[in-house]
Structure 1
Amino acid sequence: MSTTYLGGDQFDDHVRARLDDLKPAERQVARFMLANPNEVLFSSAGDLGAAAGTSDATVVRTAKALGYSGLPELKRHLGQTFTARTEPTVRLSAAMENLGSTGSRQIDRVMADSAERLQEMQRQLAPEAVEEAAQLLLDARMVFTWGLGLSSVCAEYAAFRLARRGLVTRHCDDTGFRLADALLPLRAEDAVLVYVPARQNRDVELILRYAEEVGAAVVLVTSQLSADLESRVRVVLPAPDSPTKFTGETLTASIVTDILAHTIAGREPDRAKATADLLTRLRADLGERK
């Protein structure tokens, strides 16, 4: 999972250091990117090619020549630099300006951003990582789910989805001192499914440290992974974020959850079917046949 760029170099430093290695047309695109970072964030390869006086293919080649897997990864690096250097209100203003006020433009921008993120997630998501994570969750006595900030929604969704596949789950949305209480029942036979976007805080640190202490396996769903985090979890599942923030952090994380749920059902179809039958019977007792 690619999450860092040359030891944390800023985007402009990264690009300038490679200008001399580029072909003339690529250098033209790279210089345009350096001069117009906002336009790069919010434009497609075709739009950038036209603005830079080249083509969409040249834009993609430039991104790869600069060491990225493609334009989406370049945008994420640029987005990290942009976020670090600007206030949230400035970023919001830039996004709103590029979204425009017409419904058709907003639909196009949001749909394009969604598609780009999903394509990048498909590129990053290794089948063997999904399979390992699914097996860890299947083998666990109980799956403890937790998410940082808005990602708590994904963690709760995971608890429901996995429970409907026959797993014993427990969602926790506590923080601080209440999180400490919630961690007390955790055992070595359990698994921890944690949803953490690019940022990290003391709650995440506490969960990882205590899981390591008791021997519980951790599956981490994240948009950005540090070397420190990677060494402390069993499996990492990438959920790329949006450099433009046109789409929310839960988009890719919720799809990772769906992939896990389907993988688990495929491995234990009898358990999943028995659980579905039980759920149907319980709902029927309530007069809800859904």
Structure 2
Amino acid sequence: MSTEAPAIFAPRPGLLPRLADRLLRRPRMFVFLMVLPITLWLGIVYVGALIALLIQSFFSIDEFSGMVVREFTLKTYGELLRPANLDILLRTVVMAGAVTLAAAVMAFPIAYFAARYARGIWKALFYVGVMLPLWSSYLVKVYAWKLVLAKEGILNWIFAKLHLTWALDAFLGLPVIGGNSLSVSYAGTFLVFLYIWLPYMIMPLQAALVRVPPGLIEAAADLGAHPGQSFRMIILPLALPGMVAGSIFTFSLTLGDYIVPQIIGNSRLFLGQAVYLQHGTAGNIPLAAAFTVVPIVVMGLYLWGARRMGAFDAL
């Protein structure tokens, strides 16, 4: 007389336990149900908002009544080609590119030191030092820089104590980047942008440099490569994915920011300020939407170019 062995996992009574058992036996269905809520959220709220924004950009504003004319037209995009609006777009893209390039140059030695040499308490101090500025309020940091860069600020005081006021005045006298003080100049706006977004470049670069095998650099040295060749042929290509990831943050965040140029800078508008002005003050929602489409297109082209260069292959 043979008896059946008891099941290792006996069916549990109740509706919910049975459903849970069925899901655990079907991993694909389990993963699908886990991903479904966030997918619906992104699809409805995020992508839906972008589609609504794109649709709004093809409308126009009636110059007499100030009402939105809900008819398909390219008139609003034509307004972006006006000299004043083109100047805003060019100014913003140049600033974002300069901030991204400077952040990459400054972040690389910091990230390289942390990845290759920092150990134990020093690595912990590195993470704290990089992340600490992100723990404070965004507005507090910007207003603090406003005080630092003002004529009565600590930076001017340091230059005066070092008898270098003439050098600061000469720098502020330069066309385009200068001004009455650093707090109302493009140079000051650049410094604050660089300070605010630098951690977003350091962390991806450090994560990429950690994955560089030390044996490759030692092998290159054994084969006669000097440090410059090792950097150009081994370290930089392997760190490129992290640099691209960091540049996505710094470039896109600078493109859309309006608080920094509103507080630090002169009366010349940046893209974020133009969107805020057209949407909140002028009430020209189609033009504000068209301005907003520009950074989306710019970032799309940037990501496409980075992918063509193979920057995402090692991500």
TM-score by length of 1: 0.24
Which is bigger in relative contact order (C-alpha 8 A, separation at least 6)? 2
Whose radius of gyration is greater, 1 or 2?
Answer: 2
Return the structure number with greater strand share.
1
TM-score by length of 2: 0.23
Return the structure number with greater helix share.
2
